[in-house]
Structure 1
Amino acid sequence: MKWIIRRAVNDEETVEKLRFIQMAKAVGFTLAEIKEVVDAWYKKQLSKTAKIDVLNKKLLQIEEKMKELKAVKRQIAICKFNIENEID
């Protein structure tokens, strides 16, 4: 019985990891960045403080990436506006 419960927990954890990896890849994280977060979250040898430090670093990187994407979005919107309003 313990084996079945442990197996179910491990399977859930694997599915959770895969979902995170897919999401992280979709938003442009490198495999190294993904590994860093997965290791911080799942490896038992890291202290709680070390895990929090890694995750805080990733949150800051996400914020920076969001700022950069907003700037690119604004620039693309300006280009689109200019094209739409060109006089032929």
Structure 2
Amino acid sequence: MQIQFLGPPSGIPSNYRHMSATAISFATSKQWLLIDCGEDTQHQLLKTRLSPAKLAVICITHIHGEHCYGLLGLLSSMSLHGRVAPVT
């Protein structure tokens, strides 16, 4: 299992801290899961080798804006790139 902190929790982003998002990937599978989806998640994903096409599960820890405001944008981008597979 590999854990990548895409955005350590921060109520206010800065040059060094981004909104909350954590990716967990597994050596035995190309699929991965996302815990929280702050506004900057898509930009942070561009810095990794993770593909949104292989995103299997999105977990939102709680409904505060900094944990979920990036969700609609991420899902929309995945759709625009042709993804039709469901996300849990």
Give the TM-score category using the shorter length.
under 0.3
More strand by share: 2
Q: TM-score, normalised by structure 2?
A: 0.28
Larger radius of gyration: 1
